[in-house]
Amino acid sequence: MTTLFISDLHLEADRPDIGEQFLKFLKTDASEADDLYILGDLFEAWVGDDDPNTHYFTIKRALRKLVDGGIPVYFMHGNRDFMIGGGFANETGVKILKDPCKVSMYGQKVLLSHGDKLCTDDVQYQKIRKMTRDPEWQATMRAKPLKDRLRMAAEARRQSLEQTLNLSMNIMDVNQKAVAEVIRKNNVDVLLHGHTHRPGVHTVDLGNRKAKRIVLGDWYTQGSVVRWDSRGPKLEKIPR
Ligand code: MN
């Protein structure tokens, strides 16, 4: 009996090796699990559920198969695929979660998050995040023709890459104050997130008690997963 957590696969047609590993993961590990949580950035870009991208179609079909096989799959938006909506949920049977989301794992209270919201030192990014998560902004976006959205996404990605390269490593990580705050506010034992691509297990000192922060890794060169069973959570690499 195991629950699996993954994030930051950044699937795209240009990186078929990641897609292949993910499809294999769905057929093997995930098929034997109790349920699967995908904590954001499953896709490198998502301009709308109407995108006829054939690579994404293959992934959607595989998720549908897993769900139909009786394995519940949960998805939380990342900063790349925040435009995933009800169409995707209907096609795949995947349930979309709010960020953050509290779950209980074998008696431990766990807060799930993509993690980008915790990077509060990146003020510019937080402004963009706020704008792009506004339902009105998203509705305006969805109303645009697909080809315009694809062009805009390509442009946004180019800019984001430039900005990432220009920012110091420090600012790209989570802010420790924001971490302690969200753990305290939600009264959890564990915070589990991705986004930073810095896999690890950390102790968070809250003064009166200690909590744990588990960070999932990206899937650029290998898989990264947290397997959680009755013995607790285990962060593991999956060789490609
Ligand atoms: Mn991210």
Cα of 116 to ligand 1 centre, how many Å?
6
**pLDDT: is 19 or 124 the higher one?**
19
pLDDT at 86 over 80: yes
Cα of 147 to ligand 1 centre, how many Å?
24
Cα of 22 to ligand 1 centre, how many Å?
17
- 112 with 193: CB under 8 angstroms? yes
Cα of 31 to ligand 1 centre, how many Å?
25
165 pLDDT tier (thresholds 50, 70, 90): low
Cα of 228 to ligand 1 centre, how many Å?
22
The pLDDT of residue 167 is 62
Cα of 127 to ligand 1 centre, how many Å?
15
Tokens standing for 121? 């030192």
Cα of 208 to ligand 1 centre, how many Å?
31
Continuous H helices in the chain = 16-27, 54-68, 86-92, 123-132, 135-143, 146-166, 169-172, 176-186
Q: Which domains does the chain have, with CATH numbers?
A: 3-238 (3.60.21.10)
The pLDDT of residue 153 is 86
Give the mean model confidence (pLDDT) for residues 113-135.
94
90 pLDDT tier (thresholds 50, 70, 90): very high
- pLDDT single digits (tens) 212-221: 999 999 999 9
Burial (CB count <10 Å: 0-12, 13-18, 19+), residue 167:
middle
Q: Which amino acid is at 176?
A: Q
Cα of 113 to ligand 1 centre, how many Å?
10
pLDDT at 223 over 80: yes
